Amino acid sequence: MRLTRAAEYAVRCIVYLAGNGQGKVVGRVEIAKAMEIPEQFLGKIAQQLARSGFIEIVQGAKGGYRLLLSPEKITLLDVVEAVTGEIFLNDCVMRPESCFRTSGCSIHRVWEKAREQLRSTLREATFAKMLEKETCIFPSISSESSEE
């Protein structure tokens, strides 16, 4: 399984907005440059994030994107699944009717367990927690939190 480019860019967008602070409008060009996301692609991803309630798209000369939720309330799972849909590792997990072996299949149980472990790990990773350890994009955040 590999994360889609759209999901990766959505995560980058949210982490950048979270680092700038909830409620602050950040320009699309700024986000695109800082996070190395093609501007047109960022526009499409932002629409999905807005429909999911994570951001607001602000129009106008001083427009951009505004994070609507606290970084403590947004998980990596939330953002990935907002863009890609629910995570499944195999067709038999997503659509049990696609395989006649599903009910007694030991492989199916392994896929299901791996899926749940992955989803659990992503659910535990809030953007607030990730920003505590962020040093590449916002060096001052991690140095401020380590000084306290």
Q: pLDDT of 87-123, one tens digit each?
A: 877 665 555 665 665 556 777 778 888 889 999 999 9
Domain membership of residue 101 (yes or no) is no
Domain membership of residue 107 (yes or no) is no
Domain membership of residue 55 (yes or no) is yes
pTM above threshold 0.85: no
Q: State the total domains in the chain.
A: 1
Q: pLDDT of 17-37, one tens digit each?
A: 999 999 999 999 999 999 999
Task: Look up the domain containing 28 and give its range.
Answer: 5-85+126-136
Domain membership of residue 65 (yes or no) is yes
Indicate the burial class of 89 (C-beta count within 10 angstroms; 0-12, 13-18, 19 or more): middle
Domain membership of residue 32 (yes or no) is yes
CATH of residue 30's domain is 1.10.10.10
Domain membership of residue 145 (yes or no) is no
Region for 60 from its dihedrals, namely left if φ exceeds 0, alpha if ψ lies in -120 to 50, beta otherwise:
left
Residue in 99, 75, 101, 97 with CA at minimum distance from that of residue 87: 75
Q: Is the pLDDT reported for residue 84 higher than 60?
A: yes
